[in-house]
Amino acid sequence: MKTYRDNRGFTLIEVMASLVIFSIAVTAALVTFEVQQRSYTTQSHLADTQKNVREAMEMVSRDIRLAGYGIPSDVSLPAGVLPFGLTAIRSIVSDNSSTAPDNITVLYLYDMDSNQPPTTLTGAFVANTTGGVTVASTAGFVSGDLFLVVNDTIADLYKVSGAPTGTVLPNASGGSPNYNTTHHSGTRTYAAGSVVAKARLVKYYVDRTTDAIHPTLMIDKGKLGVGAQPVADDIEDMQFRYTLDDLTLTDNVLVPSRIRQVRIFLNGRTSQVEKNWSEARPAMGDRGSGAATGHRRRLLDVTVDVRNAGL
């Protein structure tokens, strides 16, 4: 009688070989997944950085483009509002640094929003008084708003110090900085019909002290009782270069009325460091490059025409 061997099942060698092949396949899959996950995370962080830089640039460039709009001459301001002890501005005050981010302060008449329409004086207004400004309408004005009283040649900046009453914008003196104080020597009178409109006085700067790991681009709108607000996270540097009326390029402007173009540099970095990555903060304007870190970076620069800076 013949006997037959039972060939069903696997030998130990076959099982071991299968396990080895399976392990190799799983390892390859895990490595591929890890690489793809790391790549996705990196691209996501870069996309966030790019978005932050672009949105910040849009906001800064818009305000710089409007600098000086609606203002006939130097505006009288109280001490303590602008850097360097200045008490006059028509458009832009530059605060340049070759070792840190630059700052910039911009002023213009804000009358292009239908929700915040300009109004006019109903009677003569003496600029150094603080008894209130009587206007045709207080619609759109609220306590804390900065506003300009303007005629064809001069302008003065004030703050609405309380809720408008009837047709009066209160401008009681007080606070720090004190917008409602005597801005200049002598008396300046504005005739009935002079424009009264909201002012946009904003300062952009990079806050590197509140959270040193995540430097933040800030905007200070100059309102009392309202602190500076964040514009974009992880913006580590902001620099400006100016083209003057004689085509001279400079990083430090001494006469703002000569500005014709502003080149804005913004550098953002990823919120987290990346393993096995090293990249230095790039040189921008008159500031040199920085030490290399594990952050990826994105640099954006835009040149903006300033049409209202000249007197």
Per cent of the chain over pLDDT 90 is 51
Structure confidence at residue 29 (pLDDT): 79
- Is 71 exposed, middle or buried (CB count within 10 Å of its CB: 0-12, 13-18, 19+)? buried
Structure tokens, 221: 């709108």
pLDDT at 6: 60
For residue range 1-37, list pLDDT tens digits in order. 565 566 666 777 877 888 888 888 888 877 776 776 6
Average pLDDT along the chain? 87
pLDDT band (50, 70, 90) for residue 224: very low
Joined together, the tokens standing for residue 197 give 């409109």
Give pLDDT, residue 111.
83
pLDDT tens-digit readout, 277-295: 899 999 999 999 999 999 9
Sign of CA dihedral 48, 62, 218, 301: positive
pLDDT of residue 223: 60
88-115 per-position pLDDT tens digit: 888 898 899 999 999 999 999 988 777 7
What are the structure tokens assigned to 43, written together? 């691209």
Percent of the chain at pLDDT > 70 equals 92
pLDDT-derived band of residue 44, with 50, 70 and 90 as boundaries?
Answer: confident
The model's confidence at residue 230, banded by pLDDT at 50, 70 and 90, is very high
Boundaries of every domain in the chain: 47-305
User: What confidence tier does 128 reach under pLDDT thresholds 50, 70, 90?
Assistant: confident
Comparing 179 with 235, the larger pLDDT belongs to 235
